[in-house]
Amino acid sequence: MNTKKIEELLKLIAQLPEGLRADWKGTNHYELQDTSIEGDFWWLCLGEFFSWDRVLKAYPEERDFSKTEYGQRIGLLMDIAVKAKEAEEELLLMCRMPRKAANHTKS
């Protein structure tokens, strides 16, 4: 089995925080949260990059951006990040790769 692509994925996954959680369904704030720490746990808040006035103009019939096609696509990427982090240990075992090797690019 060629594990090069999985190893590349693991290097990206290693940069995600432990306890990663996506909060976007039924909201307009689109947050990836680091639940392993207390206090300010927003690892990435995509809502800060949105102009909600523009979103409302683009989707005047929908007040909940998470129900729009674009909102669903962003949410999908966030959910993929969470599931990838949850599968990190299994992927490491599959590649027989120590966690330290996967973390070598972590900043």
Tens-place pLDDT, residues 43-70 = 888 877 777 788 778 888 887 888 888 8
pLDDT(106) > 50: no
Domain count, the chain: 1
Q: What is the pTM of this model?
A: 0.78
**48 located within any domain:** yes
The DSSP code for 17 is P
Question: What is the predicted pLDDT for the residue at 61?
Answer: 84
The predicted pLDDT at position 55 comes to 79
Domain span at 26: 4-102
What's the DSSP call for residue 67? Answer: G
pLDDT in tens, 34-43: 988 876 678 8
Question: What gap in Å lies between CA 92 and CA 99, rounded to an integer?
Answer: 7
pLDDT reported for residue 99:
66
- Residue 98: inside a domain, yes or no? yes
Q: Is residue 16 part of a domain?
A: yes
> What is the rounded CA–CA span in Å between residue 59 and residue 70?
10
In a domain, residue 95? The reply is: yes
- What digits encode the pLDDT tens for the residues 69-92? 888 999 999 999 999 999 999 998
Residue 40: is it exposed, middle or buried by C-beta count within 10 angstroms (0-12/13-18/19+)? exposed
Q: Which residues contact 23 (CB under 8 A, 6 or more apart)?
A: 29, 30, 31, 32, 33
